[in-house]
Chains A and B, each alone.
Chain A
């Protein structure tokens, strides 16, 4: 089981994503934005960061990268694709996911351990969660406000395609407290919070049990491994 992580100019969390994949039990494969080669991976992660300095719009220039032609093609054929933060922004810019991300409504960058409710456990990346399970993973963004046209929002809600929703605090003004969504097929998931930063005891969010012991993010990566192995 090999999971590719695409590095773009300005990616920050590509190595964290690789580490999460390794800890989940798969082999991470470093991919480069300027190539047209997915190196035969079984799944893909578009990592967080500030590709191209967020110039033009967050994720917009990266979504036009050479490798995105292969990413879009693979996603449309059913390959699991996870976009985290800047990767989520790229997926909306590439029209693999609906809606868009705009600057936080309060105008400030936000960095916090964020409580979320997993609302869709049918996707390739969330099948290991219980429906309605509440998890805590880090969130850090300046442009994380999810918005969509009224009809798009209605369709996302009606089809159960909201994957994770903010609980307690809406940190960025996202409509309907939406933190992450999926496509109709459930193989493409994008979310603003960072599951790859909550995968190893000692380095995750605080929990009631112990400081920095939170590993709720790991399930995103173990879910996709189980899904790919089940369909292989």
Chain B
């Protein structure tokens, strides 16, 4: 079954205390060339049946209304996985 990936990121560094915490840890490890980290979410959604424009439109709507909160986050990517993770043939 096809899988659709939705990626969500916090809107700005201001809204990403988790990313800042990870960046701080990298600094403490001496990894000074990596100056900032932003931390977001990746959803993998398995679809029963084929992925067509209607399905993608439905996912876009869900991404905007459920998977993300537009006050604090942006949907930065929606794409169909070619070889779904964990699926064997």
Contacts and interface: CB of A to CB of B under 8 A. Distances in A.
Q: State whether these chains interact.
A: yes
Interface of A: 56-57, 60, 64, 92-93, 98-100, 102-107, 145, 147-149, 152, 173
Interface residues of B, number: 12
A219 B21 CA distance: 39
Interface in B7-50: 10, 14-15, 17-18, 20-21
A9 to B, nearest CB: 18
Interface of B: 10, 14-15, 17-18, 20-21, 66-67, 69, 71-72
A148 B71 CA distance: 7
A56 B67 contact: yes
B17 A99 contact: no
Contact of A107 (B10, B14, B15, B21): B21
Contacts of A102: 10, 15, 17, 72
Nearest to A145: B17
Nearest to B21: A107
Contact of B69 (A57, A64, A106): A57
A99 B70 CA distance: 10
B78 to A, nearest CB: 17
A100 B69 contact: yes
A100 B71 contact: yes
A36 to B, nearest CB: 20
A147 B15 contact: yes
B67 A104 contact: no
A64 B18 CA distance: 25
A216 B45 CA distance: 47
